[in-house]
Amino acid sequence: MSQPRYQSHDAVKEPHAISLKVLRLSRPSLVTQFPLQQPLSSPSTIRPPPLPASLAYSPPAATNGDANGDDPNPDPFILSPIVNLPPSFGQAYVGETFSCTLCASHDAMTPAESAALGLLPGASRKSIRDVRIEAEMKTPGAESVVKLELSPPPANAGGEGKRGLDLRAGDTLQKIVNFDLKEEGNHVLAVTVSYYEATDVSGRTRTFRKLYQFICKASLIVRTKPGPLPAGRDGARRWVLEAQLENCGEDSMQLEKVVLELEQGLVYSDCNWEVAGGQKPMLHPGEAEQVCFVVEEVVDSREGEGVQEHEGRIVFGILGIGWRGEMGNRGFLSTGKLGTRHVKPRERKVTA
């Protein structure tokens, strides 16, 4: 995320008592480790315990005399079950949910600062009340901005009512926003913090706003191609719909499902990994997966034609693709309406 741009709503130039920090909450990641044998240990003992410093975390103290018996660390495997918070913003992709935590904190003064004001260390000369956070997202296409819902909702019991939360020095008000990324291009997350700053003699409401800009990229290129098939048993028209899904992002993804949502009067059968009993396909950056469906008209004897044609064009419906990224990060895309120009299948020339 690019450097925030400050936009002051205050006439006062005095620094704010509240700071705002954000962290994109992608999935936490499993920590890697390279277990090593103890140096200077006898070479031929069977499986000496690994050097504790080479493990991702210190093994729990042995219990019941069973040394590390219940430690789930799968050493010497490279992955360990302990997790790290996201180290960086990473890439934002269309189809994913953008999650971000917003933290408004009442910064305690450093000992030097409070000493200069003749206060006890950590004390503040101001009290901060009614801290509120609001967030909006500006998407590339939209004229207006979308107001984002913050979670967790204010808990009255915790003192955070409609007014906001009173923060003592060192306290933080933390909120989380979620936003489904649907467009490529520049997004701006705008966060507004307002609070009431009271000193012994006076008080005022202060507000500031920070903008966080990031670029959302496409993660998947979908190319589709319809083609006619010979009619089915009861004369129902049939088509094959092929699609090529190319991972154009920088991260690997595992395709979870590909589904068609068809217009009325059409059914389809899936010809992909699930019916073939295969593994879900893994797409590394730049790789493509070919998927295929057979779309068939429902011929109902009472109703006649099953599917509507508009100016010689048959609309099938939309294709939805769901995937999972590292540590299960979800993504879902759907195409626009797919269809085909109705070409009468050549008489029995094409064999299925």
Partner 1 sequence: MDPAKDAAPKGHTRTRSAVKATRPRASTKGPLDAVDVPLTSPLSAQPQQQQQALHHHHHPSPLPRSTTHSPAPPSHPRMIPAPLGPSRSPVPIFVPGPISPLPRSAPHSPAPPRRTLPARPKDFSYLLRPDVYHAVAADNVPAAFRVASAKQPAPDTPIAELLARGQFRAAAAAAAATLTTPGRIAPGDGEAIFGLLYTRLACLMLVDATAVAAQEVKALEDLNSVFYLDEVTGVHLVPWALRVLIVRLQAMGFGDPRRAVMGYYELAREARMRLAEAMASHDNSERELWKERLADLGVRVAGALVEMNDLTGAAQHLASLKEGRESGKLTMAKALLWLHLGDAEAARRVVKAGEMGEKAEKVVAALCDMADGEYGAALARWEELDEQSNDEMIGVNRAVCLLYVGKMQEGKTLLEGLVASSRASHTLLFNLTTMYELCTEKARDLKIKLSETVAAMDESPSGWEKSNADFKL
> How buried is 263 (Cβ within 10 angstroms: 0-12 exposed, 13-18 middle, 19+ buried)?
middle
The interface region with partner 1, picked from 42-50, 230-238, 310-318, 342-350 by CB under 8 A, is 42-50
The interface region with partner 1, picked from 97-105, 225-233, 288-296, 312-320 by CB under 8 A, is 97-105
Residue selected from 89, 119, 138, 172 as contacting partner 1 according to rule CB under 8 A: 172
The interface region with partner 1, picked from 133-141, 201-209, 236-244, 251-259 by CB under 8 A, is 251-259
Rounded to 5 degrees, φ, ψ at 207 are -140, 140
CB of 49 to partner 1, least distance (A): 10
Give whichever of 69 and 161 is closer to partner 1, judged by the CB atom: 69
Q: Which two tokens stand for residue 50?
A: 């690994």
Q: How far is CA 259 from each of CA 70, 93, 272, 279, 349, rounded to the nearest angstrom?
A: 42, 20, 10, 17, 30
> x/- site string to partner 1, residues 152 to 171, per CB under 8 A?
x-----------------xx
CB of 69 to partner 1, least distance (A): 7
Residue selected from 12, 327, 343, 350 as contacting partner 1 according to rule CB under 8 A: 327
Count of positions on this chain that bind partner 1 (CB under 8 A)? 77
- Asked if 271 interacts with partner 1 (CB under 8 A), we say no
The interface region with partner 1, picked from 196-204, 306-314, 321-329, 343-351 by CB under 8 A, is 321-329
CB of 321 to partner 1, least distance (A): 15
Residues in Cβ contact with 9 at an 8 Å cutoff, skipping those fewer than 6 apart? 207, 208, 209
- CA–chain centroid gap for 77, Å, is 28
Q: Which two tokens stand for residue 128?
A: 């901060």
Give whichever of 278 and 304 is closer to partner 1, judged by the CB atom: 278
CB of 326 to partner 1, least distance (A): 6
- Asked if 252 interacts with partner 1 (CB under 8 A), we say yes
The reply to whether omega before 152 is within 30° of 0 (cis) is: yes
Residue selected from 253, 299, 319, 321 as contacting partner 1 according to rule CB under 8 A: 253
Q: What's the Rg (C-alpha) of the chain?
A: 29
CB of 287 to partner 1, least distance (A): 11
Beta bridge partners of 128: 167, 197
Give whichever of 250 and 309 is closer to partner 1, judged by the CB atom: 250
What is the rounded CA–CA span in Å between residue 96 and residue 88? 17
- Asked if 31 interacts with partner 1 (CB under 8 A), we say yes
Give whichever of 83 and 116 is closer to partner 1, judged by the CB atom: 83
Give whichever of 316 and 323 is closer to partner 1, judged by the CB atom: 323
- Asked if 174 interacts with partner 1 (CB under 8 A), we say yes
What is the rounded CA–CA span in Å between residue 248 and residue 174? 34
- Asked if 276 interacts with partner 1 (CB under 8 A), we say no
Q: Which two tokens stand for residue 204?
A: 């005022």
Give whichever of 29 and 244 is closer to partner 1, judged by the CB atom: 29
Q: Which two tokens stand for residue 181?
A: 């990324």
Residue selected from 1, 103, 248, 288 as contacting partner 1 according to rule CB under 8 A: 103
Residues in Cβ contact with 84 at an 8 Å cutoff, skipping those fewer than 6 apart? 28, 29, 31
- Write out the binding residues for partner 1, residues 188-247 only, by CB under 8 A: none
- Asked if 119 interacts with partner 1 (CB under 8 A), we say no
- Write out the binding residues for partner 1, residues 47-86 only, by CB under 8 A: 47, 51-54, 56-58, 60-61, 63, 69-85
Beta bridge partners of 314: 309, 340
Q: What is the DSSP string of 209-271?
A: EEEEEEEEE--EEEEEEEEEE---TTS--EEEEEEEEEE-SSS-EEEEEEEEEEPTTEEEEE-
What is the rounded CA–CA span in Å between residue 192 and residue 318? 38
